[in-house]
Amino acid sequence: MSAKIISGTEVAKAIREELKIEVAELKEKHAIVPGLVTILVGEDPASQSYVSAKNKTAHALGIHSEQVTLPADTSEQDLLATVEKYNKDKNIHGILVQLPLPKHINETNVLYAIDPAKDVDGFHPVNVGKMVLGEECFLPCTPHGILELLTRSGVETSGAEVVVIGRSNIVGKPIANLMLQKRKAGNATITLCHTRTKDMAAHCKRADIIIAAVGVPKMVTADMVKDGVVVIDVGVNRIGKTADGKAILAGDVDFDAVKEKASYITPVPGGVGPMTITMLMKNTVQAARQIAGVK
């Protein structure tokens, strides 16, 4: 048995087509153009690449996109002033501050300064609290993308044993919380594993669904999973370079071996990755609707 590949590239493409129609209708019927600003401090190459991809996607969907690039030595006070400027800007519905920030800036202070109504990353404690309570809010983009991958692939989660590996605030904790809720792609029984978990293989072997988000290349091996498992691999690890200098990527799962036992599996790249930016755009459109009072 070889697993069915869950293509994040294909699912993201379908969602973007839906968003393109939704954005066009907002413009035509309500004269609303969803607006997103990305704020980048410094010149980290990976961050520049992410921000560029976000801007490109926004423009392709008809979303108004602005990019603010500040010098690496920008003070925390100046960054907070920039955030406040866009909190008050009626043409901007979503604010994203690209992380990581330079070490002299307190990330928590900056994230807490974003208006929760414009927090399209879903990191503000108001949105995190609403998420935990199951109230309507902006869901963090990667967990939101995972829910869409499971739903659109027809994976049954109700009553399923789900093992989440990794307890980060960005992926592990939120996806564990979301999947135990009474919701689509929810109603699961959750085990959250981490660096202090004893005998992780024993937990994984009983899992119907494994979500690996730990940042260790090929950590989940074929002898750790049962036949028919569904595997969502969030990891993106650089494990070398090709002869022409391109990065060789691996997930947290030993893809080639595990896919022979799994029923569904996401590849790296092309699995969870494409979903993250797509769900950011979905949150931005949702923010524009809510701020304008359009259902």
Residue 274 · residue 9 · CB < 8 Å: yes
What CA–CA distance (Å, rounded) separates 161 from 189?
A: 5
Kindly list the distances between the CA atom of residue 10 and the CA atoms of 6, 28, 91, 275, 287, in Å, as whole numbers in the listed order.
Answer: 8, 28, 31, 10, 25
Active site residues: 54, 98, 121
Q: What Rg value do the Cα atoms of the chain yield, rounded?
A: 19
- Token pair for 285: 């459109």
The number of C-alpha atoms within 13 Å of 211 and in the hemisphere containing its C-beta is 30
- Token pair for 196: 């202090």
CA 111 to chain centre: 16
